Structure 1
C-alpha cells in the first residue's frame, strides 16, 4: 500500500492562511541540531513561498520538545517535526523510511516524518498543493503560480512510497570530456537533473564512473542536501582485474573459444587468485565511496565475455558470473560493510541457471533490454515479454525476493533517438513489478536528450515509483508543460504513441535487423503505418504551433517547436530505417542473413544509391536545422546524445544502406 490515505482527509477546520497580501502569517519552525537535509527542506519552503507571493518567511530552529507539543507558538505557521523511529508516520518494514504526514488544521501546517528526507518530501507536497509544479528538469519546465495570498485547505494526509529504492542512472556517452563547453553543459544538465530528482522523491542516483571529479564536485553536495544517495559501479568487472597483469599472469584472464588466454572480457572465475584480486579491488572501491550499493557487472557484451578453459567450461555464464559476485559480496561482508552488491540478469545471464542456491545475500538486477516495449511486461499475449516475465519470477525465487529492476524508458541508444512515448506501458510495468514484490527500481537516461525525447516516460516513472496507485493522466503532464494547450498536445502525443509502439516491439529498432523475407515485409508494413500516423501528427503539431505563435506566447511556442523538431527527426529516422530494411530484404536471396547484417558491401551502396541519395537529402536537411541558430534544437541538445549522436547514427545507417 503506497499511500495510506489515497485521498486526503479534509478536517473540520478553516483553510490555513500562510500569506495574506504578500505578508507571512508566521514563521517556519524546524528542529534544532538537524543535518543539511532538514535545513534544506525549510529553505525550499521559504524560497518557493517567496517566489509565489513575494513574502519573506523566516526560518527558526526550536527545541524538539516544543515542536512535539500539540500547541505550537502562536506565530509559528509551519512546523517541521522529526518523530522518533518508534513513532513512524506509517507502519513500515522498509529499511529506508521516506514516509511523511502533512497536517493542516487549527491554523497551523505540520510536516511530520521520521527521516529528514521525509521532511523534504513533505515540504514539496506542501508546495505542490499551493500550485508549484516541476514536471521535468530545468527552470524552463517548472510552473510557479503568482498570488499575493497563499492559502491551503484544512487536511490530513499520510504518504508512503511504493518502491523503497527509486533510482536514476545516467550514461554520458554523449559527452566529449575533452571539450570544455561539453563539460560545462553536462554540469548544467546534471545539476538541473539532481534538483528535479529531489522534487520527484527520487532517493538514489548513479552517475557514470567516467564522470570527472570537477562535475561530481558540483552534484554531490546537491545530492547530499536532498538526501539522494550515490550508487556506484557498472560494467566494472574488467576494470577490477587490471589488464596490465596479463603479460605476467595470463591465467588470471579468460580463455576464448579458440583456447587462447585473452585480456578482454571478464576473467577466469576458476582462478582463485583472479577472484581474490577482483574482490579486493571491489572492496577498496566500496570503502572509498561509502556508497550503499555497488553494482558489479561484467563486460557489456551480448555474449562471449566469459571463460572457456577446461575448468570453466563445466559452468554456464550465469554460474561463472555468480561465483564472481559471491566473492565480492563475501569480501564486503567480512569487512563488516553494509554495502549491497548485485548480480545483473542481462543478456547471457538473464536466466538464473545456477544449479545451486545463492550463497551470499546478493540482489539480482533485472535488466530486460531485449524485451518488447510495445506491451507491458506482464502482457500474456506478448510472447517476447512472457519469456522475460518468467525469467523475473525465476530470479525472485533464486534470490529469495531480493530484486532490483533496471528499466530503459529513457534510453536514447535503445530507441535510436526516436520519439517513443511509453507512459501507459510504464504505468502497467511498475504496477506489475510491484505486485510481484519488487521494491527497488531504476531507470536509464542519456542527459537532457532523454528529458526531451522521453520526458513523459521519466515523469511517469518517477510518479509511479513513488505511488504505484497514482491516477495517471497524460493530459495533466502536458497541461503542466503547455497550460491551456495541454489537451491538444496530449492528443498529438497519443497519435505518436500509437504509431511508435509497434516500432519498439523488437529491441534496438534502428538496427533494422531482419530474419527473412516475411519478417522484412512485416517490418516494412509496420514502418509505413507508423509514418502515415506520424505524418498526421506532424500536420496537427505544426498547426498547433501556428496557433501558439499567433497567441503571442513565445516561451510555450519555442518549447513546442522543439517537440515539432523531434517529430521531424523521428520521421527522418524511420525513412532511413525503411531504406535499410528494403536493401536487406533484396539481398536475402544472395547471401545468408547473418553475413548480410554484419557487413556493408559496396554493391549495396551502388544498387540502392537512390535510397541512399534520398536519405542523405533528408539528413542534410536535419543538419541544416541544427546549424540554424533560429532553431531551438541546438539550444536544447548541445552536449547531449541528440545533437551529434543522432546525426552520427544516421550517417552509420546510410553507410549500411
Structure 2
C-alpha cells in the first residue's frame, strides 16, 4: 500500500473524533513521524477512500472476533488490503503499541534512546508498506519503569522536565506499560507532591498505567501531621517513639490497628483526587528496622534457638541466615489490613507490597489479600550468574522466587536492579545475557512481570538493558542478538559496530572470573571468600572486570566509532558514550588506587597516607569532570555527583592516619 509518493499523500488517517485520548495521541504520533520521515503530513478524516484506519476492537466489526482468543488488554492487530491499512487495538494501549510497532517495522523508524537524539529516522520522499497480518500480545504482562523527581526534576512553576516526557515517550514507543511514579523522598513538600501529579495526564495520554509510590510509609502516615497527637502510630525504638523515619523500613507500629486505618484513609483520599492511578505502593521505607513495642513483640512467635547478630539496642538488622523470623509476617499482616480497608471502597485498585532486603521470604501462615500484588526484589543477588546458577549465592533467591511463584501464580512481580541499584553510580553493569537467561525461566514459573529500577539521568549507560527487556517482553523466543542489536543499530547507525563490540567486551569480562585482581578482597567491598566468584552491585566491583588492557581496547573502539560517525546525530550519541567511558576510566583508576590504599591501611603500612592522598586527588578529578558534563542522561548528578563521590572523599579522609 502506498502511503506517500514523491512528497504527496496517497491516503489519510481515519480515526474517530470521539476516540479516547490515547487513540488520538497514537494518531498524532503516526502523522508526526510519517511527516518527519517523508515531509508529507497525512490528512485526518473518517472513512477516506484510502486510509490508515485506527480503531479499537470494540469499534471494528471486521476484526472484533479476531480478538476473542487474545488477551483483553494491550493486544493488537496490524493488517492491510488494497486500500486500507488497519491498526486495531484490544484497548487504547494496544492501539498505541500497534502504531509504534507499525512506525518501527514498516516506516523503519527506530526508538532506542530518549528525545530526538534517540530516534533513528532516514528521510524518504515516498513510502510504500507491505504489512502482513500480525496479531501481537505481550508475553511479559507487567513491564514497569520507575521515575522520580530527584533525577528528572519537575519545575515547581508547573512545567514538566524534558527527561520526564522523553521517558514516557520511550515507554510508549517500546511498548512498556506501568510508570512507577516515585514522588521522591518521604519528606517531600506538599507543593512538590502536587507537581509530580502533573505527570499523570501525560502518562494516561500515552495509554500507560500508573503505579503510585515507592518507599512511602512516611508519606501515607506523615509525621508532621500525626506525630504530635499520635506518637503511638510510629515505631518504638530504644524505648522511644520517633517521627523522623527512625528506624527505617517498618517505621510504623504495625500492631496498632489505627495505623492501618489511617494509611488506608490517606490512600483513598489520594485516589479520589487522582483516579488515574492503577496500582498503589505499600512499600516500607528503605533500610532496616521495626517496632520494638510490647504489642508488636507479643505477636511474634520466636523459635527457642532464635539469635540476633545486632548490637544491644540496635535490634533491627539481621543477616540472611539469622533474620527475624516474624518480621515479614508483621509486614504481611499490616499490608493485609490496609488492603482490606482500601478494598472495601476501591476494589478495582491493586496494592503493591514489596518483599525485599530482610523481609523477602514468603510470610509463613499469612496469605496475602487478593488485591495485593507481591513484588519481590533480589536485593543483593550476584549478577555475574543467572539466578539458578548451582554454585552461587543466588541459590537463596532462586529458592524464595520459586516459593513466591508457586504461592501466587500470575501475580508475582520482580523488582529488577538493571542499573545495579542507585548506589552503583552510573558505572557499566552489562546484564543482557543474565537478564535474557533469567526471564525465559521466570515466565515458565508464572511470574507476571517486572518493575525496572531506572533513572533518565544515566539512560546512556543502562539503555541497552532496558531496551533488550522491552523487546524480550513481546518475544521470549528471541535470541540475545535479536533483543540487543537493534538498540545499537538504531542509536549509533553507521558507528554501531564498534559500540556493540565494546558492550560485548564488557559483557564477556563481566561474566568471567579470570580478570579479578590479586588483591580482590581490598578492591571489592562486597568480597566474601565463600562467594569470591560472584559480582554484587557495588561501584568498586567495576575494577573486577575493567583493567588497563580492557580500557585500552575500549579506547580503541571509541576512536573507531568516532571515525565512523558521519552524521550529526550519530556524532552526538557517540560523544555521550565517550563521556561515559571517560568517567568509567577515571572510576577504575580511583578504585584501583582505593584497593591499594585499603590494603596498606590493613597492613598499617607507612605508605598508607600517601596512597590516600592519591585517592583524594582522583576523587576530586571525578567530581570536577562530572560537574562539567553537558549531558543530562549520562551520569546521575544527584546520586553520583552530590552523594556518592563526596562520600568517598570523606571516607578516605577519615581512614587516613
Q: What is the root-mean-square deviation of aligned Cα atoms in Å?
A: 3.5
What is the correspondence of 1:566-585 to structure 2 with a 5 Å cutoff? 566-585=580-599
1:541 aligns with 2:543: no
* Residue matched to 2:178: 204
Deviations 1:271-295 (Å, cap 9, x if unpaired)?
A: 2223322332333333333211011
Are the counterparts in 1 of residues 562 and 574 from structure 2 also a CA contact under 8 Å?
Answer: no
**Helix, strand or coil at the partner of 1:341:** strand
Are the counterparts in 2 of residues 166 and 441 from structure 1 also a CA contact under 8 Å?
Answer: yes
| Equivalent-residue separation in structure 1 for 2:229 and 2:25 (angstroms) | 53
Distance of aligned partners of 1:91 and 1:643 in 2 relative to their CA distance in 1, 3 Å threshold: farther
Deviations 1:328-370 (Å, cap 9, x if unpaired)?
A: 1101111143111122110111001323433544211011121
What is the correspondence of 1:387-398 to structure 2 with a 5 Å cutoff? 387-398=396-407
Are the counterparts in 2 of residues 131 and 144 from structure 1 also a CA contact under 8 Å?
Answer: yes
**Helix, strand or coil at the partner of 1:348:** coil
* Residue matched to 2:112: 135
Shift of 1:178: 9.2
| Equivalent-residue separation in structure 1 for 2:216 and 2:140 (angstroms) | 26
* Residue matched to 1:651: 649
What is the correspondence of 1:99-118 to structure 2 with a 5 Å cutoff? 99-118=75-94
Are the counterparts in 2 of residues 267 and 307 from structure 1 also a CA contact under 8 Å?
Answer: no
Deviations 1:131-163 (Å, cap 9, x if unpaired)?
A: 111111111111112111101124111110112
Distance of aligned partners of 1:518 and 1:443 in 2 relative to their CA distance in 1, 3 Å threshold: closer
Are the counterparts in 1 of residues 423 and 644 from structure 2 also a CA contact under 8 Å?
Answer: no
Shift of 1:388: 0.7
Segments of 5+ residues of structure 2 without an aligned counterpart are 302-324, 517-521
Are the counterparts in 1 of residues 382 and 535 from structure 2 also a CA contact under 8 Å?
Answer: no
| Equivalent-residue separation in structure 1 for 2:21 and 2:542 (angstroms) | 53
From 192, 199, 203, the counterpart of 1:219: 199
1:423 aligns with 2:437: no
Distance of aligned partners of 1:217 and 1:514 in 2 relative to their CA distance in 1, 3 Å threshold: closer
* Residue matched to 2:283: 297
Distance of aligned partners of 1:621 and 1:646 in 2 relative to their CA distance in 1, 3 Å threshold: same
1:565 aligns with 2:594: no
**Helix, strand or coil at the partner of 2:358:** helix
* Residue matched to 2:613: 613
Are the counterparts in 2 of residues 295 and 341 from structure 1 also a CA contact under 8 Å?
Answer: yes
| Equivalent-residue separation in structure 2 for 1:438 and 1:518 (angstroms) | 28
* Residue matched to 1:373: 383
Distance of aligned partners of 1:326 and 1:611 in 2 relative to their CA distance in 1, 3 Å threshold: same
| Equivalent-residue separation in structure 2 for 1:176 and 1:362 (angstroms) | 30
| Equivalent-residue separation in structure 2 for 1:572 and 1:653 (angstroms) | 18
Instruction: State the aligned residue count.
Output: 602
Distance of aligned partners of 1:565 and 1:272 in 2 relative to their CA distance in 1, 3 Å threshold: same
Shift of 1:311: 1.6
**Helix, strand or coil at the partner of 1:459:** helix
| Equivalent-residue separation in structure 1 for 2:490 and 2:202 (angstroms) | 25
Shift of 1:53: 0.9
1:331 aligns with 2:312: no
Are the counterparts in 2 of residues 167 and 204 from structure 1 also a CA contact under 8 Å?
Answer: yes
Distance of aligned partners of 1:253 and 1:151 in 2 relative to their CA distance in 1, 3 Å threshold: same
**Helix, strand or coil at the partner of 2:161:** helix
| Equivalent-residue separation in structure 1 for 2:299 and 2:94 (angstroms) | 48
**Helix, strand or coil at the partner of 1:207:** strand
| Equivalent-residue separation in structure 2 for 1:175 and 1:122 (angstroms) | 28
Shift of 1:568: 2.5
What is the correspondence of 1:442-591 to structure 2 with a 5 Å cutoff? 442-449=451-458, 451-473=459-481, 474-501=484-511, 512-515=525-528, 527=543, 530-548=546-564, 552-585=566-599
**Helix, strand or coil at the partner of 2:85:** strand
Distance of aligned partners of 1:457 and 1:224 in 2 relative to their CA distance in 1, 3 Å threshold: same
* Residue matched to 2:235: 254
The structure whose residues are more often helix, as a share, is 1
Are the counterparts in 2 of residues 512 and 577 from structure 1 also a CA contact under 8 Å?
Answer: no
Are the counterparts in 2 of residues 365 and 405 from structure 1 also a CA contact under 8 Å?
Answer: yes
Are the counterparts in 2 of residues 280 and 328 from structure 1 also a CA contact under 8 Å?
Answer: no
**Helix, strand or coil at the partner of 1:55:** coil
**Helix, strand or coil at the partner of 1:427:** helix
TM-score when normalising by structure 1: 0.82
From 84, 93, 97, the counterpart of 2:58: 84
Are the counterparts in 2 of residues 111 and 123 from structure 1 also a CA contact under 8 Å?
Answer: yes
Deviations 1:562-602 (Å, cap 9, x if unpaired)?
A: 2123123223223333343444445557xxxxxxxxxxxxx
